[in-house]
């Protein structure tokens, strides 16, 4: 086995291991753990604590990936984003009470809460529940809506609170479709398909409005 150390930039160290001419690279989505003192903030023009902001962005990226891949169902996503929205609200309240800053104890508390959400994201993305759309117009419409929501989460156009509401709406439609199919031997009647399409049209308008309103995640690009 050959072990080679390479230095990349200031303070960065790369380790290359080669055995029998074979190089193996492993990558896995794992629950992220962070401590208030271990974070290494990237340069930012924001006055907010970089470690808090970076942690929030990382969680949203993982959720967006889960939505896009189908690993997260609408119900799971709604639950996760509801928790993220609660953490964000608590953080804003604490900042307002302390002149825009968080105390060391408050940072530790936020970090602990994000650790818990991180574990939940991992568990939800790796359980048996997945989003199945099917090769039909109803399924394709559902998948399209999820792709739009995932893009909004990734870009920062959708806040956790907005995402939770949109996914709650999709969850309701999905439950209705499942119930109708069960009552009709696995199919939907023409009138049921029309009703679902009408509800998705309304959901589509909600997605557009929330992606183009004034509410964004911190650091998101200006909305067109």
Residue range(s) defining the domain that contains residue 199: 50-211
Tokens linked to 43: 């340069």
Residue 169 lies in a domain: yes
Residue 152 lies in a domain: yes
**Mean pLDDT on 178-199:** 96
- Expressed in angstroms, the distance from the first to the final Cα of the chain is 54
> In degrees, to the nearest 5, what angle opens at C-alpha 218 toward C-alphas 11 and 116?
75
| Alpha-carbon gap, residue 160 to 143, rounded angstroms | 20
Residue 11 lies in a domain: no
What's the pLDDT at 16? 44
- Is residue 2 within a helix (H) or strand (E), and if so which, with residue range? strand 2-7
What's the pLDDT at 26? 38
Residue 100 lies in a domain: yes
Q: Which of 67-71, 155-159, 175-179, 216-220 has the lowest mean pLDDT?
A: 216-220
Instruction: Using DSSP, state whether 3 is helix, strand or coil.
Output: strand
- pLDDT above 80: residue 24: no
Residue 134 lies in a domain: yes
What's the pLDDT at 12? 42
Domain count, the chain: 1
Binned at pLDDT 50, 70 and 90, residue 222 comes out as low
Binned at pLDDT 50, 70 and 90, residue 7 comes out as very low
Residue 74 lies in a domain: yes
Residue 155 lies in a domain: yes
What's the pLDDT at 201? 97
Nearby residues of 34 by Cβ (< 8 Å), 6 or more positions away? 51, 55, 111, 114, 115
pTM greater than 0.85 (yes/no): no
Residue 17 lies in a domain: no
Cα–Cα separations (whole angstroms), residue 190 to 66, 180, 184: 32, 11, 12
């Amino acid at each position: 086995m050959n072990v080679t150390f390479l230095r990349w930039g200031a303070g960065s160290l790369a380790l290359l291991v080669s055995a029998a001419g074979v190089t193996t690279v492993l990558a896995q989505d794992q629950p992220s753990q962070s401590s208030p003192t271990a974070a290494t903030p990237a340069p930012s023009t924001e006055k907010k604590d970089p470690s808090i902001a970076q942690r929030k962005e990382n969680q949203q990226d993982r959720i967006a990936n889960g939505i896009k891949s189908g690993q997260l169902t609408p119900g799971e996503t709604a639950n996760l984003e509801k928790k993220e929205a609660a953490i964000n609200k608590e953080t804003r309240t604490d900042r307002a009470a302390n002149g825009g800053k968080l105390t060391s104890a408050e940072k530790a508390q936020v970090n602990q809460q994000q650790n818990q959400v991180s574990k939940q994201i991992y568990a939800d993305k790796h359980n048996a529940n997945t989003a199945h759309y099917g090769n039909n117009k109803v399924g394709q419409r559902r998948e399209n809506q999820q792709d739009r929501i995932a893009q909004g989460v990734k870009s920062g156009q959708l806040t956790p609170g907005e995402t939770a509401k949109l996914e709650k709406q999709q969850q309701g439609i999905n439950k209705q479709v499942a119930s109708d199919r069960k009552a009709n031997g696995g199919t939907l009647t023409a009138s049921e398909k029309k009703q679902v399409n009408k509800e998705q049209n309304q959901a589509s308008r909600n997605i557009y409005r929330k992606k183009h309103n004034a509410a964004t995640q911190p650091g998101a690009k200006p909305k067109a």
